[in-house]
Amino acid sequence: MKIQDYCDTVAGSLQLRVPLRQFCRGGIVTDDREMNRQLDMLERAGQATVPLTIRGEKGSGKDRIAQYAHDLSRRRRAPLVKTNCAYLTEEQMYIELFGTAARADLGLLHRAAGGSLYIENADLMPAFVQYQLMNHIQRQEANDVRFMICLQQQGQSSGLCEQMSYHFSSLVFDIPPLRQRPQDILLLAFQQLQQLWQEYGLERTLGPAVMSAMLSYEWPSNTRQLTHTIERMAFMSDDRLMDSVHLLQRCLSPTEQVKPLSEEIAAPPDSRSLKQMVQDYEIMVIHQYIEQYGSLRKAAGVLKSSPATLSRKITEYNLLPQSEK
């Protein structure tokens, strides 16, 4: 995808050609074909009570899909109750779902009656609790609850007992990772800038160089990482226009840095100062040569520089974890 397919550049700033709301469905911003196909499926099944399985990597927005599925249903006026198996022991998970022997009404199954129950990281649910839950459902004691589970594992049955895996196989929503949806990286960045303006009155825009760098990055923590990075950039930037690759580098964690930049990314826009152009070019070259030759010393030799000079620049530009500087 090309930035110019979605944006015009005005005074160095990228501006969407069409309103962001045209890409928004129930709070989910996307122009990805596969995401839209699955959202169509979710809307067709909106009034159904079949269980829903949502699969995706960490930070991919599984809770938003669950909320949208709940909002589409006739249960939307009843609660959407959530729990996360990743932080609970077997005993805690059992009490969380079923309550105590004295107070069953304290359990989530009771509180979600007439609505939906969203179980995050269900593949980590202890086997004993899985069997108890399935027995509860099969005895028709589920108090009219629509179940939604989310999985981080790729396999449908990873960590799940056979009964539970079969029960939750009727409607499955697979969220593609953000690295496979470059157009959504661009759109989600604009959405986050809008939210910063609405919440804090903080006006920020993005330039072509930093957007190109963002599109070249794989975002291992997906949507969550992207929105947090945009937020940090907005608060750290002294200028309304954010078009510094160095700023993006500083706002990513030290172990998660932008990959080597393409020639299109390296091409400096007119809005940058000469100093910033030089810094961005040095960042690109240092990344490229260290990755290609595998060590700082070899990269320095090829660049006809000294290891000490490269080490100083790595520290200056915050390119490597502190432990490696």
- What is the set of domains in the chain, with CATH numbers? 3-21+179-324 (1.10.8.60), 33-175 (3.40.50.300)
The reported pLDDT for the residue numbered 144 is: 84
Per-residue confidence (pLDDT) for residue 80, from 0 to 100: 96
Work out the number of other CB atoms within 10 angstroms of the CB of residue 293: 15
Q: Identify the DSSP state of 243.
A: -
The 10 Å Cβ neighbour count of residue 250 is 14
| Whole-number Å distance between alpha carbons of 80 and 70 | 7
pLDDT for residue 300: 80
The packing angle between helices 182-200 and 222-236, to 10°, is 50
pTM of the model: 0.75
Q: What is the three-class DSSP state of 153?
A: coil
Q: In what order do the strands lie in the sheet with 172-174?
A: 80-84, 116-120, 146-151, 52-55, 172-174
Angle at CA 314, nearest 5°, toward 311 and 315? 90
Predicted pLDDT of residue 6: 96
User: What pairs with residue 242 in β-bridges?
Assistant: 206
Q: At what angle do helices 127-138 and 90-98 cross, to 10 degrees?
A: 20
The rounded distance, in Å, linking the Cα atoms of 238 and 274 is 17
Rg (CA), the chain: 24
User: Per residue of the chain (325 residues), what is the pLDDT tens digit?
Assistant: 889 999 999 988 999 999 999 999 988 999 999 999 999 999 999 888 899 999 999 999 999 999 999 999 999 999 999 999 988 999 999 999 999 988 878 899 999 999 999 999 998 999 999 999 998 888 765 568 999 999 875 555 567 888 888 888 889 999 999 999 999 999 999 999 999 999 999 999 999 999 999 999 999 999 999 999 999 999 999 999 999 888 998 888 655 556 544 434 444 444 556 677 677 777 777 766 776 666 777 778 778 788 778 777 777 766 544 334 3
